[in-house]
Structure 1
Amino acid sequence: MVILSSKISGVKIHLNGQFTEEYRIALEDFTMFYDFIDITYDPNNKSSLKSKNDRVCRFCQKSSPDVSFKKSAHLIPEFMGNRNLLSDFECDTCNMKMSRYEDSFAKFFGADRTFSQMKGKKGSKTFKNSKIEVREIKEDGKAKIRITPKLLNGEKCYNIDEDNKSIIIENTKHSYIPLDIFKVLCKIAFSLIPESELEKFEKLRTLILQNTFDDKILKGNDFFRAYTFKLNWNEYKRPIVMMFKKRLSYKDQNIPSWTFVLCFNKFVYQFFLPFCEEDNWLYNKSKEVTFKILPPLISEELILNFGNPTMEIFDFSSYELLKCEKEKIILYYETKAKVE
């Protein structure tokens, strides 16, 4: 059994079951360099918040009456399954800005958002473009996915592989801005960083809010990547975020000081915070930075039952609108039936 003990709350995560050899080695390597600081999750009920007159925005640093706090500010986006985890330090102006970032993140998932049954304020989101419509429906009291392909210039957007009993869907995502996605991740992390550490992240706070960027800082910067795992099942009914900090005994190691792991639905996103004052020396181009990856905390039994998660690294450093990105979705079936 592996136990992760929080440095802040004292919460302990007991990891039962056997890990694959690959995951066990990666977990030991990661925990050698990083302390587990805390875990945050969507609670069953909304917690009490400060009076709106006493609130100060953590992002723009303004307070009432200069800004208002009328809206419910979700610490983790609602489309990831968060319902009750709210903050009392995000003003309405910044909340509107974060909502635009979250829109890019939602579009990044394309039709897979509906297939994965991610639910927003109004339930599951229907994906629709000129080639396909993917919608969640209720049938006999059960949630099902209805796929309606459309012919475009006589071409269909899917193929059926009879040998592997699969349907391969070629789709085009809606346009999104990659950097906005990274801003959402940073916003979540910046919301959870202990207040005593915030002054070390002034540049990160600026990045989250600003609209103009320096290509020299963004392009080729490995800090703006997300290391992701996609599971073959919905493991996280509610989102959780784990926070880790580099151990003091390894302060001279070429690894970032802070890393966060966001788990929601069937996805795991690990990212490393840029612009921490403690890491300024890492930006020396002559130093090669190592990014230690925490494997999904799932047992070998689950992998044997559902298959290996798919790992992918995404570069979210571009602030240009990304258009017409292709995605391939493979669905497996047991039987086919002709519908009249």
Structure 2
Amino acid sequence: MKDEKKTKFENNSHSIPEFMGNKSLLLFTECDSCNNFFNKNYESHLAFYLGFERSALGISGKNGVPEFKHVSDKLFIRNEKNEIVIGIDPESDYVKIDPIRKIVSFSLPKNPFVPYSVYKSFVKIAFSFLPFDKCANLKSTQVFLKSKLKTIEGREVNSTLLKYTIKNHFKKMFIRIYENQIKEKTNRPKYIAILGYNDKVFQFHIPNKELDDIDQPFIMNCIQIFDEAYDIEEINFNSTNLKRDEVENFTFKYEDLDSSKMETDFFKSLLKKKNVD
């Protein structure tokens, strides 16, 4: 705990980043210094990791729906008067259009991000929702989040997440935290978090040494709480190097297509989003 008389609490700290659509859930125990550290080192990378989906699905952040522009300059996505505007270099392999079924399928490269920073951002979100007394008991997690280390007590933290897709989108983002009721330390996490965002679910643990046996191989099974979950992936976010080759596949239906408008070297398509598969 920091001395509140010496530490500033002037900025709004969000338990879930504002760019994910959170406007109201604030943290009053996170000082400005920590907030700046998390924004710079973790959440900026999470924003890049989720960048395309935020723009394509119209998720409003601090400054409205963000424009997505890939570093290759071959793709942009922006919101104009509640319509999704997508510009794509016609020579790229990013998109396939099925005019019969009125389906657009994307295979899009993400902007560069650091995987381990994305993982820590997820952990920080979940840690923010633990009851205060439980947070206070997890000193090792606090130290882990406030540093750039990949270890707790000299043991490397397993940064594996489970990611899967559900058929129907969540109308609102949500997070659930499950607590292992076994009293003794085991290699199964004490706390497992599930974060639902759009049509994606991320499952991960809250690493600590106080309640978990960090000396044993890590085991985390998928918590089956959704009947229509598919594309279950086990993703390791262990790398601290900038990742430049991540690709996201995305499909949605459109009502109207206008390919007659050109903008520089882009094939400009006005897609009125109907629904996402």
Name the TM-score class by shorter chain: 0.7 to 0.9
TM-score under structure 1 length normalisation? 0.67
Deviation at 1:241, TM superposition (A): 2.0
Q: d(CA) in 2 for partners of 1:170 and 1:189? A: 30
Computing the radius of gyration from Cα coordinates, the structure with the larger value is 1
Alignment-derived partner of residue 134 in structure 1: 77
Query: Does the aligned pair in 2 maintain the 1:81–1:265 contact within 8 Å?
Result: no
Q: Deviations over 1:108-130 (max 9, x none)?
A: 02322211222211111110121
Unaligned runs of 5+ in 1: 1-60
Unaligned runs of 5+ in 2: 262-277
Which residue number in structure 2 is paired with residue 18 of structure 1?
none
Following the alignment from structure 1 to structure 2, what is the Cα–Cα distance between the partners of residues 264 and 158? Answer: 23
- Correspondence 1:112-123 to 2 at 5 A: 112-123=53-64
Number of aligned residue pairs: give it: 257
- Larger helix share, 1 or 2: 1
TM-score by length of 2: 0.80
Does 1:94 pair with 2:34? yes
Aligned residues of 2:19 and 2:60 also touching (Cα < 8 A): yes
CA distance in 2, matches of 1:156, 1:273: 38
1:318 aligns with 2:264: no
Matched to 1:283, the amino acid is D
Distance of 1:109 and 1:161 partners within structure 2? 25
Counterpart selection for 2:166 from 216, 228, 231 = 231
2:264 aligns with none
1:158 to 71, 95, 103: 95
The CA distance in 2 between the partners of 1:337 and 1:199, in whole Å, is 56
**Shift of the alpha carbon at 1:283?**
2.1
Q: How far, CA to CA, are the matches of 1:325 and 1:69 in structure 2?
A: 36
- Could you tell which deviates more after superposition, 252-261 or 157-166? 157-166
SS in 2 for 1:268: strand
Shift in Å at residue 227 of structure 1? 1.5
Question: Aligned match of 1:246 in 170, 180, 197?
Answer: 180
CA distances 1:18-38 after superposition (whole Å, capped 9, x unpaired): xxxxxxxxxxxxxxxxxxxxx
Identity, in percent, stands at: 25
Report whether the alignment pairs 1:256 with 2:194.
Answer: no
Q: What is the root-mean-square deviation of aligned Cα atoms in Å?
A: 2.8
2:195 aligned counterpart, secondary structure:
strand
Which residue identity lines up with residue 208 of structure 1 in the other structure?
A: L
Shift of 1:163: 6.5
Q: Alpha-carbon deviation of 1:290?
A: 2.9
Retained in 2: the 8 A contact 1:236–1:266? Answer: no
